Structures are given as C-alpha cells and as structure tokens.
Amino acid sequence: MAQKKPKLIPNSAAKNLKPEVKRIDRSAYFARREAAKVLRNVLQGDARRRAVGSIKSLVYSPSIRNKKATYALVCQTLKHLPIIKDVLEAANVLSGKWKRQGELIYIITYDILFGQEGSLVGDAEKFLLLKKDALQSALAQILKRKGMKDVKDLMASAISSSSFPASDVPKPRYVRVNALKMDVESALLELRKQYEVLQDDTVHGLLILPPGADLHNHPLVKNGSVFMQGKASSMVAVAVGPKPGWEVIDACAAPGNKTVHLAALMKGKGKIIACELNKERVQRLEENVKLAGATNVKVMHDDFLNLNPEDPSYSKVRAILLDPSCSGSGTVVDRLDHLLPSYGAGNADPSNTSRLRKLAAFQKKALEHALCFPAVERIVYSTCSIHQIENEDVINSALPFASTHGFQLATTFPQWPRRGLPTFDGSQHLLRTDLVEDKEGFFIALFVRKNKHQLGTVQKSTDKKFTRKKKRVNYLIAKMLGKWLYAQLT
C-alpha cells in the first residue's frame, strides 16, 4: 500500500522556512492542536453520554480559529478512529508521556497514515514520524488478518455493519436573522450577493440557502447578525410566544441558540434567566449571548431543578422553555453522532432502552418542576428526539400533574401537518418534524394555563373590592377624626 511521505521539519529548522511555508506549517500545527481539544471534548462527552456540544458546535465555537481544517481533521479522525486505535495498539509505540495526549496522537496518526502530503511540525509529530514504519507495518498486518486489500475496504466493512442511516442526505442550510442586530431585508440583500436565498414560510426571519452553503466564516455569522440554526430548532422559541417585557426561564439553555432567539422575539426587553449546569456549556452559552447582543439574558450556572418556584425572584416568570437533555436521535446525522464510538460496532443501537428510560425520567421531573411556577402562563417542552418514550410518553405521564396546576395542552403551529403519535387523547396538539420529510426529527409540546383569563378577572375583581373597601375605611377614619376635632374645639 503506497503512502505519501510527509516531510519532517524539526522545530529548530522551522525558523529558517520561507514565510509562506512557515505560515502553512504553523496553521496546520495549530489546527491539529485545536482538533485534539475538540476531539477530547467529543470523546469524553460520548463516554459519559452527556455531550458538551455537537461536533459541529464545538468546532465552530468562537474559540476555534482554523475552523475548516479543524472540522476536517476531527471528522476524518473519528471515521478512522477504530483503525487508528488498532494500529497504535498493534505497533506498541506509545510511552506513558504520549499516552496522556491520546487525542493529539490520534489526530497525528491519521495525518501520517491517511492524510494529505505535507510537513509535520511539532514534537509529537516528530516522535510519530520516527515510528511511521512500525505504524504502516501494523496497518498492513490488520488488513491481512481481516482479508482486506486496502483501507477503503476496511472502512466500507465498518459502515455496512452499522445500523446508522446514511449521512449524505441533501439538506438546506438554514440561517436565522438576529433581529437584535439586523432586519430581514438587509440580511437578504447581503446574503444574496453570494447565494440563492429564500424565506421560510413557517418561522419569520428564517432564511433557506442551498445545501452545502458554508457560512461559518461569513461576516454576518461571525458578528452575530445571523445564526446558523435548523428550522425545527427555530420553531421552539416561536412556540413559547414571549412578549417584550416578560420574564422567561430557559431551563436547559446551552449552547444558546434558542435563548438568543427568545431575546430577539422579546426585542431585548424584559428578562431571560438562562440555566445551564455544565461548566463548559455555560462558557459556550455566554459566548453566544454576547455575540447576539442579548443584553436581557442572565446566565445562571445552576441546575434548573434547584430553582425554587416559591422564591419571590421568580414570581414574575410568565413563560418557560424546557429543552432538556435527550437522546439527540432526531439530529444524529446533522450532529455527526454516527461518527462517535458509542455508535460503533457492538453498540450500534442509539435507542438503548435503559438510557432512554433514564432520560425520560429526568425529562418528566423537569417538566413537572416547570409546571410549579405560580405565575407561568406558557411552557414549551421540546426535544430533538424521534422516540415516543421521550416525547408523547413524557407528556402523557405529566398531564394529570399539569391539570392540577391549571395547565392544558394547546396547539402550536396549527398549520403544521405532522402532529404527535396518536397514543392518547390530545396528542393532536403535539408537533413533530420528520427525519425524512424535514431532514430532522424534533418534538414540541405547548402547555398553557387554562384559567389564565379567569385568574386575571378574579384578580381585577379582588383589586376593585379592595379599592372600594379602602375608600370606605378612609372615609370612616376621616369622619371619626372630624368628630374628634369638633369635640376638641367645642
């Protein structure tokens, strides 16, 4: 198997390179380090089944400079990761020092065995290049043992043994105009300089671009004037229906696309309490809030379940958006979750029943907690899952509790054709998007306080009675005081 030889450039010689070559080498060097950092977060999150963010969201965070190269390295390394691990184990070339930098080793090994020809600058690169013959020999032995002619056959075998759906389904690129910074017409004018752009007919301010349109380095994306956000995800904040001046809780807010959408719908007025428990995800949330110019968002590094509904601080909260942790089964293709080890051979079923039950138990607990806030009028529960156990079953199990707190299901986006699975009376109020029809699977449920208007009427009536009583008391006090003064004078 012929391999292209990367050129080894020792660190000491890097200073003597021509400026343009040195710039390319430095760019590749830093891309590998950034890719290793992303890969570490991805693998750790996958092992814990609690991702800090999707592969795309991690790569395209503001902290990553060379996004295109980093994205390619992470994806390609993940695709080849089972082979890379087998090669490293068979070659037995790693000492303790390098084992502690496993993700960087994976990235560089990919570049050496499968990447493009180029120079590799850095101590880790130098170490592995000296072991290149051993790595290639180990790869040849693995291919021979498995009866494969080349790596393509090995990769094809791995793909055919996976139950994961194909990831090459054409999907439009959606971007949402951030009304806090730009109006729709201005965004259309700017984007149409490069792309054919249509307006979505369901979500105001959501624009549709051709599949594959790469906007990650576009000025409007980098300055927060538009956000890359899928259609179904953009429907969630609209379903909440917040008004300017309201107080709203985003219960599981990171990475913050829905949070800043709420802020835009509220025209930057009122207050949004954005809760997030994970420290790394809090940082991402804060970055997106700042980028969007959403000054009415207060980020709380805390668990939503720790918020006390009886606390006076939340006595004016009128809406809650609850988008809890879920299986992510509706966006696995777009999120590239099929590249993760948890979807590999021997563990290819993403709908692990035990895990789904645990998720559903948490989701129900969070929903019932949201229903306890006394002044809340609207609650939206949403997931990016296709599984009934996380969607209809959660809603159905929480309905009795919701009813005792004055809530009932309401229909959101009534014109939308795909509704909830008919598993209980009222499921027609629920909304689903379809993996095939809509290229992603989402679920949205809207609860409204059914006696909201009655409560308002009762409150107004009570206020009027109190006012009349207060006037009567004041009149009697004034009358008594008048009599006393008259007695004193006479």
Q: How high is the pLDDT of residue 115?
A: 80
**pTM of the prediction?**
0.68
278-299 pLDDT, tens digit per residue, is 988 999 999 999 999 999 999 9
375-395 pLDDT, tens digit per residue, is 999 999 999 999 999 999 999
Q: Judge whether residue 195 has pLDDT over 80.
A: yes
DSSP for 192-229 reads: TTTS--EE-SSSTTEEEE-TT---TT-HHHHTTSEEE-
Q: Judge whether residue 423 has pLDDT over 80.
A: yes
Q: Judge whether residue 162 has pLDDT over 90.
A: no
What token pair was written down for 228?
């890359």
Indicate the annotated binding residues. 252-258, 276, 303, 323
Say which residue, 3 or 308, is predicted with more confidence: 308
Segment 145-169 mean pLDDT: 62
Indicate the annotated binding residues for S-adenosyl-L-methionine. 252-258, 276, 303, 323
Q: Which of 75, 326, 372, 384 is catalytic?
A: 384
Q: Judge whether residue 234 has pLDDT over 60.
A: yes
How far is residue 152's CA from residue 164's CA, in Å, rounded to a whole number?
Answer: 18
How far is residue 395's CA from residue 391's CA, in Å, rounded to a whole number?
Answer: 6
pLDDT, mean over the chain: 83
253-281 pLDDT, tens digit per residue, is 999 999 999 999 999 999 999 999 998 89
Segment 449-467 mean pLDDT: 50
Q: Which residues make beta-bridge pairs with 299?
A: 274
Q: How high is the pLDDT of residue 435?
A: 86
How far is residue 66's CA from residue 71's CA, in Å, rounded to a whole number?
Answer: 9
Is residue 101 very low, low, confident or very high in pLDDT (cuts 50, 70, 90)?
confident
Residues 6+ apart with CB under 8 A from 259: 250, 253, 272, 274, 285, 288, 289, 294, 297
Is residue 345 very low, low, confident or very high in pLDDT (cuts 50, 70, 90)?
very low
Question: Is there a catalytic annotation at residue 384?
Answer: yes
Segment 361-384 mean pLDDT: 98
